[in-house]
Structure 1
C-alpha cells in the first residue's frame, strides 16, 4: 500500500469530500496535513468580509493532522499567512511514498520545497492557475523563470482543465508529466438534494419577494472587484428583460456599491451569504447562473460545477478558468469577453429570448458535469503515481 501525504492550506468544502473519496475507493493510505484551521473554526474570510465556518463535516472519512501555524496574521490571503516550522518533520514522521501539494505560494511551502529531498520521495502538484489574461515585460519574464524552476521539483503535475494544462506547458512542464485530474465538487450530494432544493427555492423566492412569474439571474459568491458583480448589474439594467429578476447572494467589499447602484431600480434583490447546506437551494432558485470574473484570479469557478449539478444553464466570462471545459456555447450556456458590459448585455438578452431553450441548456449542464467528478480526479492521481513509481516519469 502506497502512502500519500497531502499538504493543504486548510479544510476546504470542495477538497475534503475528495479526500474522503481517495481514502475509501483506492488502495492508497492517505493522510492530509493542514496548515491552518479555517473552515472548521470560525474565521474572518477576507473576501466575504465576515466570520463563518462551514456547516458540513470536513474532517471525517480520512486521516489528517494539523501543522502548527505561527503566522501572526494567519490565512491564505497573503504569502506569510502560512508559517509552519514543523511541516517537514511531521511529513517525515509519516514516511510517505509521495507527497501531493495543493498549493505552493506561501512561505511555509516554499521552505518545504527548498528543503525536501524530492529525488528520494517524489512530489506531485495539483494546481488550477491559468494565463487567460497574459502579461508581458521584464517582470513577467522573471516570473516565468522562477515558476519554471519551481515546477522542475515536481515529478508530476495534475491539471484540472484545458487552460490549466496550457499554463503548465508554458512553464516548462513536459506533457508526459501532466495528468488530468479535473476540478470537481461533491456531485452526489448536490444530486441528492436537487428535488428538495427546488421546493425550498420556491418558498425562498416568496420570502425574498421576487414575483412568482419572474425568471431569475443569479450571482452567488463574494462581492469583490475580480468577480465583477457590478458588470452584471449594469448589463442587467441595460438588457431591460421582461419578467426577469436579478438576485445577488453573498457578501463582500462591494456590497454597499451594489446596493447603492441598484437603488431605485425594480427587480434587483439581495440575499446574505449562504452556507454549504443551503447552496443547493441557492442554485435551484436560478434560471441562469452568471460568473463575470475578470483577470487570472478566477482560476476555475467551482460555483459553476455546483450550478450545473442543479441542472442550471451558465454564463461565464472568457477569463473564468472552467469556461473551455464546462461551458459549451449554445448547448448549456454562453461565454462573453471579460469586462465587456455591452457583450454581457447582449448575452443576457440572447439567453432569455427562448426560455424553453434555456431550460434545455440546464439539462445539458447536468450531463456535462457527470464527467467532472471525484472519480475522474482520483484517476489522475493514481495514474501519476503509477507513472512515477514505474519510472516512466523523469525529472527534466
Structure 2
C-alpha cells in the first residue's frame, strides 16, 4: 500500500468527497494536511463578502491534520496568508512515500519546497492554471522563468484538463511527467438528488416570483469583476428574449451595481448565497447556466460540472478553463469570446431559438460530465504515484549498484 500525504490550503467542498473516495482505494493510504481551517468554522469569504461555513461534512471519512497557521492575516488571497512553521516536521513524522501539493503560491509552501528532500520522498503537484489569456511583457517573461523553476521540484504533475496540460508544458514539464486527473465534483450526490431538486426548484421558482412559463438563465457564484455578471446582464437585455428570466444567485462586491441596473428592467431576479446542500436545487431551477468569466482566474469553473450533473446546458466564455473539455459546441452548450457582450447576447439567442434542442443539450452534458469523476481523477493519481515511486526506487538501485561496482 502506497502512503500518500496531501497538502491543501483548507477543507474544500469539492476536494473532501474526493479524499473520502481515495481512502476507499485499497492501494492507497492517505492523510491530508490542512494549512487553514476556513470552511469548517464561520469565516468571512473575501469574494462573497459574508460569513461562510459549508453545510456538508468536509472532514469525515479520511485522515487529516491541521498544521498551525501563524499568519496575522490568515487566508488564501495573499502570499503571507498561510504561514505554517511546523509543516515540514509534521510531514516528516508521517513519513509518506510521496507528497501531493494542491497549491504552491504561499509563504508556507515555498518554505516547505526549500526544506524538503524530494530525492528521498518525491513531490507531486496537481494544478489547474491556464494561459487562455496570454500575458506579454517582461513581467510575464520573469513569471514564466520563476514558475518553471518551481515545477522542477516536482517529480510529476497532475493536469485537470487540456488548457492546464498546455500550461504545464509551457512551463517546461515534459509530457512523460504529466498525468490526467480531471477536475470533478461529487457527481453521485448531484445525480441522486436530481428528482428531488426538480420538485424543490418548482416551489422555489414560485417563491422568487418568476413566471411559471418562463425559462430561466442562471448565474450562480460570486458577484465580482472577474466573473463578469454585468456582462451577462447587459447581454440578456440586448438579446431581448421572449418568456425568459435571468436569475442571479450569490453575493459579492457587484451586487449593488447589478440591482441598480435591474430595477429599471423586468424579468431579472436575485437570490442570496446558497450553501452546498441547496446547490442541486439551484441548478435545477435553470434552463441554462452561463459562466461569463474573464481573465486567468477562472481556472476551471466547477459550476459547469454541477450544472451538467443536473442535465443543464451551459454557456461559458473562452477564458473558462473547462470550456475546451466539457463544452462540446452545439452539442451540450456554447462558448463565446470572453468579454464580448454582443457575442454572449447572440449565444443566448442561439440557445433559446430551439427549446427542444436546448433540453437535448442538457442530456448530452450529463453524459459528458459522467466521464469527469473521482474515478478518473484517482486513476491519474495512481498512475503518477506509480511513476514517481518506481523512479525513486530505480535511482536508489542505481546508486547502490554504482557503490558496489567501486
| TM-score, normalised with respect to structure 1 | 0.99
Unaligned runs of at least 5 residues, structure 1:
none
Aligned equivalents of 2:172 and 2:49: distance in 1?
Answer: 37
CA RMSD of aligned residues (A): 1.1
Aligned equivalents of 1:19 and 1:308: distance in 2?
Answer: 22
Is the contact between residue 387 and residue 393 of structure 1 (CA under 8 Å) also seen in structure 2?
A: no
1:220-245 CA deviation, whole Å, 9 max, x = no partner? 00000000000000000010000000
Aligned equivalents of 2:52 and 2:382: distance in 1?
Answer: 34
Is the contact between residue 163 and residue 321 of structure 1 (CA under 8 Å) also seen in structure 2?
A: yes
Is the contact between residue 43 and residue 52 of structure 1 (CA under 8 Å) also seen in structure 2?
A: yes
Aligned equivalents of 2:371 and 2:104: distance in 1?
Answer: 27
User: Aligned pair 1:3/2:3, yes or no?
Assistant: yes
Aligned equivalents of 1:14 and 1:51: distance in 2?
Answer: 19
Aligned equivalents of 1:288 and 1:240: distance in 2?
Answer: 16
Structure 2 counterpart of 1:385: 385
Aligned equivalents of 1:177 and 1:386: distance in 2?
Answer: 11
- Report SS of the residue matched to 1:207: helix
1:112-166 CA deviation, whole Å, 9 max, x = no partner? 0111111110000000000000011111111111100000000000000000000
Aligned equivalents of 1:48 and 1:20: distance in 2?
Answer: 27
1:311-367 CA deviation, whole Å, 9 max, x = no partner? 000000000000000000100000000000000000000000000000000000100
Aligned equivalents of 2:359 and 2:247: distance in 1?
Answer: 18
Structure 2 counterpart of 1:58: 58
Structure 1 counterpart of 2:401: none
Unaligned runs of at least 5 residues, structure 2:
396-406
1:351-387 CA deviation, whole Å, 9 max, x = no partner? 0000000000000010000100000000010000111
Cα displacement (A) at 1:25: 2.3
Aligned equivalents of 1:143 and 1:359: distance in 2?
Answer: 44
1:154-210 CA deviation, whole Å, 9 max, x = no partner? 000000000000000000000000000000000000000000000000000000000
Aligned equivalents of 1:114 and 1:271: distance in 2?
Answer: 46
1:273-306 CA deviation, whole Å, 9 max, x = no partner? 0000000000000000000000000000000000
- Report SS of the residue matched to 1:132: coil
Aligned equivalents of 1:389 and 1:35: distance in 2?
Answer: 25
Q: Which has the larger radius of gyration?
A: 2
- Report SS of the residue matched to 1:366: helix
Aligned equivalents of 2:366 and 2:261: distance in 1?
Answer: 34
Is the contact between residue 122 and residue 389 of structure 2 (CA under 8 Å) also seen in structure 1?
A: no
Aligned equivalents of 2:17 and 2:331: distance in 1?
Answer: 29
Q: Which runs of 4+ in 1 moved over 4 A?
A: 392-395
User: Aligned pair 1:324/2:324, yes or no?
Assistant: yes
Structure 2 counterpart of 1:248: 248
Aligned equivalents of 1:319 and 1:327: distance in 2?
Answer: 13
1:114-193 to structure 2, matched below 5 A, reads 114-193=114-193
| TM-score, normalised with respect to structure 2 | 0.96
1:124–1:201 distance in 2 versus 1, CA, 3 Å: same
- Report SS of the residue matched to 1:25: coil
User: Aligned pair 1:352/2:352, yes or no?
Assistant: yes
Aligned equivalents of 2:165 and 2:393: distance in 1?
Answer: 17
- Report the more deviating stretch, 168-177 or 18-27: 18-27
Aligned equivalents of 1:155 and 1:394: distance in 2?
Answer: 13
Structure 1 counterpart of 2:266: 266
1:1-396 to structure 2, matched below 5 A, reads 1-391=1-391
- Report SS of the residue matched to 2:247: strand
- Report the more deviating stretch, 22-31 or 55-64: 22-31
Aligned equivalents of 2:393 and 2:178: distance in 1?
Answer: 10
1:246-289 CA deviation, whole Å, 9 max, x = no partner? 00000000000000011110000000000000000000000000
Cα displacement (A) at 1:392: 8.8
Is the contact between residue 119 and residue 392 of structure 2 (CA under 8 Å) also seen in structure 1?
A: no
Is the contact between residue 283 and residue 310 of structure 1 (CA under 8 Å) also seen in structure 2?
A: yes
Aligned equivalents of 1:394 and 1:320: distance in 2?
Answer: 40
Aligned equivalents of 2:347 and 2:43: distance in 1?
Answer: 38
Is the contact between residue 235 and residue 341 of structure 2 (CA under 8 Å) also seen in structure 1?
A: yes
Aligned equivalents of 1:316 and 1:158: distance in 2?
Answer: 24
1:325–1:249 distance in 2 versus 1, CA, 3 Å: same
Aligned equivalents of 1:389 and 1:26: distance in 2?
Answer: 17
Cα displacement (A) at 1:52: 1.4
Aligned equivalents of 1:290 and 1:115: distance in 2?
Answer: 44
Aligned equivalents of 2:376 and 2:58: distance in 1?
Answer: 21
